[in-house]
Amino acid sequence: MSLLTPRPGIMDITPYKGGESAIEGVDRIIKLASNEGPFGPAPSAIEAINKVSNIQHRYPDGGATALRKKIGAKFNINPDQIVCGAGSDEILGLLVRAYAGPGDEVLYSDHGFLMYPIAAKAAGATPVTAMETNLTTDVDAMLSAVTDKTKIVFVANPNNPTGTYIPKSEMNRLRQGLRDDILLVIDAAYAEFMTEDDYDAGIELVNRTQNTIMTRTFSKMYGLGGIRLGWGYGSEEITDVLNRSRNPFNVTSLALAAGEAALDDELFVAKTRKHNTHWLRWTEENARKLGLECTTSYANFALIRFPHQDKHSSRHADAFLRSKGIIVRAMASYGLGDCLRVSIGTEEEMLAFMEALTEFMSN
């Protein structure tokens, strides 16, 4: 052992484990473990990536000027209040490092996204969770968990891995109940899948307040998880802080090109959204018919609960699905050990998944 000592918190981190993509001895894998989408990358993005391959000796535009302008026009928001990142994960990490440190608390809900505690600990801050109600963010519980040490509140809306969301009235009530010196981060990674009238991804709240930021990603709806591209929209005060602390070339020119093209790909988005809504509800309905509980999810995955300690437990289900070449996501790291999270794949993949699940439950 050397005498090197990382900052407090670092050694408490359990490294994030992504969904697996291979099973030994199985050739044909159906991967429904990482919410990556059924159709591959948006075709327009693939074309755009190919077009910039020959300028990869050049540094990218560190200001992501064209992409921010395009996002600004699409959402009718000020490009100066947008910061792009290597995935929205990067933005989440930058926010914690900028606004919280040792002695500070970072608050999120019980089954909130795992990057929140990781980012908090990496900054030496203390992650704190608030109870959920019916696997949904509970604004009152959240507000009761605030202390004078709270610096940041994260809400994924819809949340991963529960799939549930809170309406904009509840998000407004949360903001209103938080002190002004607390940063509210609305992580809207699945906003593109939402069609509910009472939902807002966060733009309205960011427009009205100085201490709220919304984050978005190209990894889910646009099928670009591999390119690493996300963005945040916040007050100029917040984006100024992010622009000072981010790496100068944090987004590659491949990602910038892919993002610009994907934003225009309305056809791909419409097709993906329609497919997702249909197969998500189909998956939930059929799982319920097998006697399994599901949340009603608004993202691109279903959360299915299995009986506790029984031959039909989630652990056995996971193993059985694997024996059929199907990889879903175990949820123990989220405190949902009885649940499996299943991403919505192609029609063929969902039929294969449900056939395997039906066989498992009938044994």
Binding site for ligand PLP (CB under 6 A): 87-89, 113, 156, 160, 187, 189, 217, 219-220, 225, 230
CB of 103 to ligand PLP, least distance (A): 26
SS3 category, 302: strand
Q: Which is nearer to ligand PLP, 150 or 219 (CB)?
A: 219
Q: Which residue, among 276, 307, 275, 286, has the nearest Cα to 357 in the 3D structure?
A: 286
CB of 150 to ligand PLP, least distance (A): 20
CB of 193 to ligand PLP, least distance (A): 11
Q: Are 248 and 62 in contact (CB under 8 A)?
A: yes
CB of 334 to ligand PLP, least distance (A): 11
Vertex 251, ends 246 and 256: CA angle to 5°?
Answer: 145
Partners of 137 in beta bridges? 132
Q: Which is nearer to ligand PLP, 18 or 25 (CB)?
A: 18
Q: Which is nearer to ligand PLP, 188 or 261 (CB)?
A: 188
- Helix then strand then coil, in percent of the chain rounded to 5, is 40, 15, 45
Q: Which residue, among 139, 188, 136, has the nearest Cα to 162 in the 3D structure?
A: 136
* Stretch (H or E) spanning 128: strand 126-130
CB of 186 to ligand PLP, least distance (A): 11
Q: Which is nearer to ligand PLP, 87 or 117 (CB)?
A: 87
CB of 97 to ligand PLP, least distance (A): 16
Rounded to 5 degrees, φ, ψ at 21 are -130, 5
Q: Which is nearer to ligand PLP, 36 or 265 (CB)?
A: 36
Q: How far apart are CA 132 and CA 39, in angstroms?
A: 33
Residue number with the smallest Cβ distance to ligand PLP: 87
Q: Which residues of 81-116 are buried (b: 16+ CB within 10 A; e: fewer)?
A: bbbbbbbbbbbbbbbbbbbbeeebbbbbbbbbbbbb
Q: Which is nearer to ligand PLP, 36 or 361 (CB)?
A: 36
Q: Which is nearer to ligand PLP, 324 or 341 (CB)?
A: 341
CB of 251 to ligand PLP, least distance (A): 11
SS3 category, 224: coil
Q: How far apart are CA 87 and CA 145, in angstroms?
A: 29
